[in-house]
Amino acid sequence: MSNLMSLLESTPVVPLVQATDPDVAVKTTRALVAGGLKVIEVVLRTDNSLACLKAITEQVPEAITGAGTVLTEAQCQQAIDHGATFIVSPGLTEGVVKLAQKHGLPILPGIATATELQQAYNYGLRTLKFFPASLAGGPKMLKAMSSVFRDVRFMPTGGVNTSTLGDYLAVPAVLACGGSWLTPADEIAAGNYDAVTKIASEAAKLAQDLRS
């Protein structure tokens, strides 16, 4: 957890990788790492996403690779078995939280309301995903929540992009931001991984400048 947190503090951007071909997933991850983004979230949104996750963990060991869109305990266990080093969920489910904790992995479940946040807080969690960020109140909601839950850090995801990144990172309680804008499907489909590296590098610099 400390290594993950340290990387997010220094480079507070987490790209989402969604692929059906493990080779494409590996090339995308290498492009992101080359651009300075080492914390990668592989979203379990395709039939072959677990194979993509495993390929990345085996072939790009310099990346810290987690699994996102984890909906069930079974998926959580599969993600762990395929090499995930942290777990991200769109919502809050006790079974997924407890399983990740049992294996000693960081777990960032998604919350969107004060009730969900309080429940997560009572599970002992102090780092949470805020999802869908743009629809759930954005930076203003995060400021309101963090004024009550003062020791909680957030990773807003959903609707975050280059134009809104600064607004989120200006909130002291925001640890990092996640987003798919860093892995544009059209560039990846065209095999233009240099474009992915360029986007990653620009996002990393922007985030570091904003954070500093």
Give the residue numbers annotated as catalytic, written as ranges: 41, 129
The strand ranges marked E within 91-202 are: 107-108, 110-111, 127-130, 153-156, 177-179
Residue 67 falls in which region: left (phi positive, over 0), alpha (psi -120 to 50) or beta: beta
Whether the Cβ atoms of residue 65 and residue 29 lie closer than 8 Å to each other: yes
- Report how far apart, in Å, the C-alpha atoms of 86 and of each of 9, 57, 82, 170 are: 16, 12, 12, 25
- The token duo for 55 is 């390929």
What is the length of the chain?
212
